[in-house]
């Protein structure tokens, strides 16, 4: 825009804008005030994101509220049954929160009994380890993935390896597709013979590990 073509209104807007900027600059006369302004900007942006995505957040909350609830009260009966019927050397029970991308250790049992070392430990659901992440996707799809456990996939996995685990099976709780609020992981020191029987027993335990 040429200077000659600027209207009085344009001039006033420019002066007002410069005045507002000057006012802000005159206010920011210390690092503390600058930090306060930056913080206010960050909080305002976060508030805008929450407001603009509130429908998505509400939908996620509704889905979480409609999911079944993990029931660990019967674990002391179900886990020994799993070990007896499948010959597993290690059984771990996790609670799962898909929204937070976490699973939490609820129980770990070996042939020697309960191991409380990792009780309450929170792990990433998707850990970035390809073998683990592939199994998680399978669990979300209602599958019961079984396979060689060549290396530890988490700090809890180190416990599996210390106990000589070389083969694992996992199942979601409950076993239905997309209703993933918990997980059983069974481990053996050598590949078990009847995976069909093992999957059937795991299905039973999984179905009895939710609140109805």
Q: Give per-residue pLDDT as tens, 17-59.
A: 455 555 655 655 666 666 666 777 667 766 666 666 666 555 5
Q: Distance between CA 181 and CA 104 in Å, rounded?
A: 11
- Angle, helices 75-86 vs 195-207, to 10°: value is 170
Q: Do residues 181 and 99 make contact, with C-beta atoms less than 8 angstroms apart?
A: no
Pick the CATH number of 68-211 from 3.40.50.300, 3.30.450.40, 2.40.240.10, 1.10.357.10: 3.30.450.40
Quote the pTM value: 0.70
Predicted pLDDT of residue 178: 74
Predicted pLDDT of residue 75: 93
Q: Give every CB contact of residue 134 below 8 A, 6+ residues apart in sequence.
A: 145
Q: What is the mean pLDDT of residues 75-88?
A: 96
For the cut 90, the answer to whether the pLDDT of residue 11 exceeds it is no
Q: What is the mean pLDDT of residues 88-100?
A: 95
Place of tokens 């039973």: 204
For the cut 70, the answer to whether the pLDDT of residue 172 exceeds it is yes
Predicted pLDDT of residue 68: 87
Percent of the chain with pLDDT over 70: 69
Q: Give per-residue pLDDT as tens, 117-152.
A: 999 999 999 998 999 999 999 999 999 999 999 999
Give the start-to-end residue ranges of the domains of the chain: 8-52, 68-211
Q: List Cα–Cα distances, 39 to 28, 29, 49, 87, 200, in angstroms.
A: 13, 16, 15, 57, 55
Our measurement of the distance from residue 121's CA atom to the centroid of its chain's CA atoms, rounded to an integer in Å, reads 13
């Amino acid at each position: 825009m040429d200077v000659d073509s600027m209207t009085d209104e344009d001039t006033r807007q420019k002066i007002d804008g410069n005045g507002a900027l000057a006012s802000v600059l005159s206010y920011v006369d210390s690092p503390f005030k600058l930090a306060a302004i930056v913080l206010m900007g960050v909080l305002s942006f976060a508030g805008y994101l929450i407001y603009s995505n509130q429908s998505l957040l509400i939908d996620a909350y509704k889905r979480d509220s409609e999911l079944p609830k993990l029931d660990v009260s019967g674990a002391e009966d179900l886990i020994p049954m799993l070990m007896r019927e499948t010959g597993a050397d290690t059984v771990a029970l996790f609670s799962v929160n898909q929204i937070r991308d976490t699973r939490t250790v609820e129980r770990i049992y070996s042939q020697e009994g309960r191991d409380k070392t990792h009780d309450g430990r929170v792990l990433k659901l998707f850990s970035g380890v390809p073998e683990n992440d592939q199994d998680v996707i399978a669990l979300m799809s209602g599958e019961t993935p079984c396979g060689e456990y060549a290396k530890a996939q988490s700090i809890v996995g180190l416990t599996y390896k210390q106990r000589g685990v070389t083969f694992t099976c996992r199942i979601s709780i409950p076993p239905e597709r997309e209703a993933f609020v918990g997980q059983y992981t069974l481990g053996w020191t050598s590949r078990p013979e009847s995976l069909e029987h093992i999957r059937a027993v795991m299905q039973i335990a999984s179905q009895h590990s939710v609140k109805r």
